[in-house]
Every structure is written in structure tokens, then in C-alpha cells.
């Protein structure tokens, strides 16, 4: 949403943001108005509605973008056309009747629902009737990442220490990301590629379990958990990677709605191994920008990893296509006109 507001402002639109108070107290300067609301939830929504209504009284509003169906309650009736984003996680397939009615009511107020993938669009349509607004699929665009610094590259090179091939995952550490499947595949991978090394960047509740799994498999020497890393180190890590591996799977109602991390790797010319479940098929095109596999099947994950690591021409072909798609299609100049058109439907 920050990138959307930035892109709208850069395109000459007058922008006002109505948002919750941030968790961080870091400065957040932008060339447009940002109104923050920190009250408890019911009061916070009421305060936003009042502020948006007052803004509409002062000047016409061209359109409103809501970050999810839950934010629709903070938009007063009738200020302007509304486009609401759908990400996937907020649309459980087994929603209770009460929750389903709330989602359907929120969506019914919108001019269009913008889904991040075909999978998420299918979830959203479960809450819509024939008279409901259309669901548009627009893959989330990527902000061009900064080039890695010499210092960051040197740091990553020191961690690699001449080993390879290099597998990388950058993600929030939770079971559905499939990091455990890559760990379980690593002993077989190391039999084929004895110097293979696996870097996991990110933080999350699954860290302890993943570290224990690596210890039980006796692959600590080949696995490094880097924790949360900054953009310079992430760019350096992806630059040095041979393969981005995140064979995501379903865990209960938790599933990957899209997977921007795959596109970040693609920007650096790296192919991905992704799970077939959820919206990853919109982020990774099978046998074109990477490979899709069944993230719940360890044997299939292992076979796909060994195939990719053992076939450099295949990795080069997939990586080049992934980079071209990321840098030419999955960018803000392509997405922004689609977002604006959603308000006019």
C-alpha cells in the first residue's frame, strides 16, 4: 500500500492515506498526507470514517483503495468508487456463515476486487454473487531493489567460503513456506553436490523447529539461519544464489496467496522452486521461470532440487526468463494503470 501511494503521487495524483498507527516509531516522510489512528479498533474505525467523510466534504475524491475487506468498514458510504485488494490469507475457504456475510457485504460496496493471483481470485469469488463486483487479477508489482553493496557481497562471500551450489530462502519462518522440506532434502542433495550450502534468511515462529530439524539431520555445517536481514544483504544473498527454494504448501487454512519473494529472486536472474499449492503459479511459471512441485511430497521436492542444481543450462534459461518477466511485466508502470482502471469499472 505504501508503494501504491508512492506510485500514485509520482503519477501526479493527490493522495491522502488513512492508516493505523505504525508499530515502529521510525520517521516515515512522504510527499502526501498521512493520517494515523491509534485508538482501540471500534473507535479507530469510527475515527477513520469521520476523517474520510470530512475530506470528501472539502474536495471531491476520485477513488479509494482499501487494503482488504476488513478496511471497508472504515470507509463512509458514497465518497467515491472503491477498489479493494484481496491477498488470500484473509479469505478462509471454511469461513463461518457470519464471517462470510461480512466479507460479502464488504465486497458488495466495491467497484472491483483486485486479487493478487488466480488462486486468490477463486477464494474471493466464493463470497460474491452474480451481481457482485468483478474480480480482477493483477500480480503485485515489485519495487526495483537496490544493487548490493560491496560490503554486503563480501559478507555473503565470506559465509559461502567457496562452497556451492548455493540454495537460498528468504521468508517469514512458518511451516507453510516448506523450508523443512528443503532441509529434509539436503542430505540427498549433498550426496550429489557435497559442497552445497543452504541459507535461510528471515525470522518467525518456526525458527526453533527448523534449527532442531537441521541438527537431527546433521546438516548444521551446510545450513545457515541468518535471521532478519536488511535490503543490501538480501540483494547480495540473491545475487550469489544459484537457486531460490520455497516449496510452499498448505497448512490448515494457511497458504501462499502469491509469493513476492519469488519475484525478488527473479529480479536477480534466479529461478525458483515453488510449491504448486496456492498462488505461487502466478509468481513462478512452471518450466518457464522456475519449477513447481508438490510441497507436501518430500521425494518430489528432493528430485526437483537435484534436477535444477544438476542442470546449469536449465537454471540459466529459467533465470533469464524470470528476470525478463520481473523487470518488464511485474513493475509499477504496468500495474498502476490496471489499479486505476479498476476504479472506473
What residue ranges do the domains of the chain occupy? Answer: 2-141+332-343, 150-328
Q: How much is the average pLDDT of 224-247?
A: 97
Sign of CA dihedral 113, 118, 119, 125: positive
Question: Hey, which CATH number is domain 2-141+332-343, 3.40.50.720, 2.40.40.20, 3.30.360.10, 3.40.50.2000?
Answer: 3.40.50.2000
Mean pLDDT, all residues of the chain: 94
Looking at residue 41, its pLDDT comes to 82
**Torsion, CA 287, CA 289, CA 292, CA 295, rounded to 10:** 150
CATH superfamily membership of 150-328: Glycogen Phosphorylase B; (3.40.50.2000)
Domain 2-141+332-343 and domain 150-328, same fold? Reply is yes
> How far apart are the C-alpha atoms of 267 and 320, rounded to whole Å?
9
Q: 270-324, pLDDT tens digit by residue?
A: 999 999 999 999 999 999 999 999 999 999 999 999 999 999 999 999 999 999 9
Q: Which residues, 6 or more positions from 91, have their beta carbon under 8 angstroms from its beta carbon?
A: 69, 103, 120, 123, 124, 126, 127
Listing DSSP states for 221-237 in one string gives: GGEEEEES--HHHHHHH
> For the whole model, what pTM was predicted?
0.91
Q: b vs e for 258-277, b when ≥16 Cβ sit within 10 Å of the residue's Cβ?
A: bbbbbbbbbbbbbbbbbbbb
Contact 173, 203 (CB under 8 A): yes
CA atoms within 13 A on the CB side of 231: 6
Q: Is the pLDDT of residue 73 over 80?
A: yes
| Predicted local confidence at residue 26, as pLDDT | 67
CA 74, chain centre distance (Å): 25
Find the radius of gyration of the CA atoms of the chain.
22
Instruction: Tell me: pLDDT of 78 over 90.
Output: no
Q: What angle do CA 269, 145, 173 make, to 5 degrees?
A: 80
Mean pLDDT over 146-152 rounds to 94
Query: How far apart (Å, rounded) are the C-alpha atoms in residues 121 and 241?
Result: 32
The mean pLDDT of 167-189, rounded to a whole number, is 97
Between CA 46 and CA 4 the distance in angstroms is 24
Amino acid at each position: 500500500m505504501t508503494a501504491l501511494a508512492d506510485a500514485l503521487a509520482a503519477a501526479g495524483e493527490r493522495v491522502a492515506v488513512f492508516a493505523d498507527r505504525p508499530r515502529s516509531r521510525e520517521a516515515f516522510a512522504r510527499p502526501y498526507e498521512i493520517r494515523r489512528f491509534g485508538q482501540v479498533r471500534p473507535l479507530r474505525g469510527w475515527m477513520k470514517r469521520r476523517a474520510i467523510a470530512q475530506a470528501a466534504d472539502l474536495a471531491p475524491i476520485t477513488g479509494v483503495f482499501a487494503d482488504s475487506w476488513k478496511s471497508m468498514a472504515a470507509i463512509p458510504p458514497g465518497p467515491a468508487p472503491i477498489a479493494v485488494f484481496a491477498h488470500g490469507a484473509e479469505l478462509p475457504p471454511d469461513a463461518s456463515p457470519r464471517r462470510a456475510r461480512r466479507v460479502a457485504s464488504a465486497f458488495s460496496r466495491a467497484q472491483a476486487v483486485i486479487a493478487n493471483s488466480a488462486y486468490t481470485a477463486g477464494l474471493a469469488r466464493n463470497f460474491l454473487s452474480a451481481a457482485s463486483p468483478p474480480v480482477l487479477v493483477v500480480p503485485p508489482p515489485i519495487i526495483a531493489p537496490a544493487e548490493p553493496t560491496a560490503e554486503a557481497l563480501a559478507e555473503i562471500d565470506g559465509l559461502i567460503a567457496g562452497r556451492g551450489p548455493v540454495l537460498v530462502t528468504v521468508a517469514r519462518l512458518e511451516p507453510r513456506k516448506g523450508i523443512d522440506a528443503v532441509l529434509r532434502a539436503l542430505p540427498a542433495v549433498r550426496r550429489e553436490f557435497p559442497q552445497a550450502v543452504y541459507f535461510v534468511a528471515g525470522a518467525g515462529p518456526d525458527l526453533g523447529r527448523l534449527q532442531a530439524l537441521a541438527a537431527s539431520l546433521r546438516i548444521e555445517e551446510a545450513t545457515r539461519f541468518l535471521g532478519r536481514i536488511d535490503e543490501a544483504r538480501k540483494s547480495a544473498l540473491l545475487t550469489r544464489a544459484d537457486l531460490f527454494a520455497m516449496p510452499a504448501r498448505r497448512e490448515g487454512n494457511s497458504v501462499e496467496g502469491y509469493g513476492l519473494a519469488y519475484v525478488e529472486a527473479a529480479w536477480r536472474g534466479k529461478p525458483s522452486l515453488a510449491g504448486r499449492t496456492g498462488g505461487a503459479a502466478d509468481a513462478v511459471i512452471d518450466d518457464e521461470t522456475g519449477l513447481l512441485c508438490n510441497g507436501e511430497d518430500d521425494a518430489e521436492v528432493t528430485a526437483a532440487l537435484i534436477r535444477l542444481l544438476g542442470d546449469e543450462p536449465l537454471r540459466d534459461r529459467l533465470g533469464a526468463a524470470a528476470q525478463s518477466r520481473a523487470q518488464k511485466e511485474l513493475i509499477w508502470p504496468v500495474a498502476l494503470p490496471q489499479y486505476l482502471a479498476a476504479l472506473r469499472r
